[in-house]
Amino acid sequence: MKLNEQEIAHLVEHIGHYPEKRAGAIYCLYYVQDKYGYIPRESLDEISELTSLSPLQLDELITFYTLLRRRPVGRNLMRVCTSISCHIRGGEKVLSAAQKETKVPLGEITSDGSMTVLPSICLGLCQKAPVALVNDVDVLENLTPETISQHINKYMNEAVSAKAPTANGRLITTLKPQSEEK
């Protein structure tokens, strides 16, 4: 999974805006993730050459930033917050219900390829706990085991629908925020 010359030129140009090449590493990692849906190990060598960071240092960045992924995910990626505010308000039950609904272990892809659920460190929405983030865009607030199951079913059904629009292999959802569904 190599980047082509045009993509490398784009990254070199972007990195050139920083006083040090290594400052562009996170942008490069997100760029690769947007292209493949995750960051393949092979791409770390290319990014390493561009940023002067070792593959190990890049791997440490991926480990630190929870929105970066090392493994492929389903067409929908749901991150369920497990931080203290969400935990106190039932986040563990929400996460358990999400896993039960998808019928696969956390972090795995459903058999139809439509969904991956991951636990996540704080999503910064403690006042709306428990919360989940879907496809790094859609925020689901004040979740319960019942509402998370409903949301998962909607996302999974849209993903397997022939009408499901995608961008870079990821679902563009028509699901309305929970506050609009009432």
Q: Per the annotation, where are the binding residues for [2Fe-2S] cluster?
A: 81, 86, 122, 126
Neighbours of 111 (CB within 10 A): 10
Q: What is the dihedral of CA 126, 130, 134, 138, to 10 degrees?
A: -60
Helix H or strand E segment including 79: strand 76-81
Mark the binding-site residues, compressed into ranges. 81, 86, 122, 126
The total number of residues shown for the chain amounts to 182
76's CB contacts (< 8 A; 6+ apart) are 114, 115, 116, 134, 135, 155, 156, 159, 170, 171, 173
CA 132 to chain centre: 11
Q: Scanning the structure block, which residue is given the tokens 């040090």?
A: 20
The two structure tokens encoding residue 161: 């629908």
Report the chain's C-alpha Rg in angstroms. 18
Q: Scanning the structure block, which residue is given the tokens 């358990």?
A: 96
Helix H or strand E segment including 32: helix 25-36
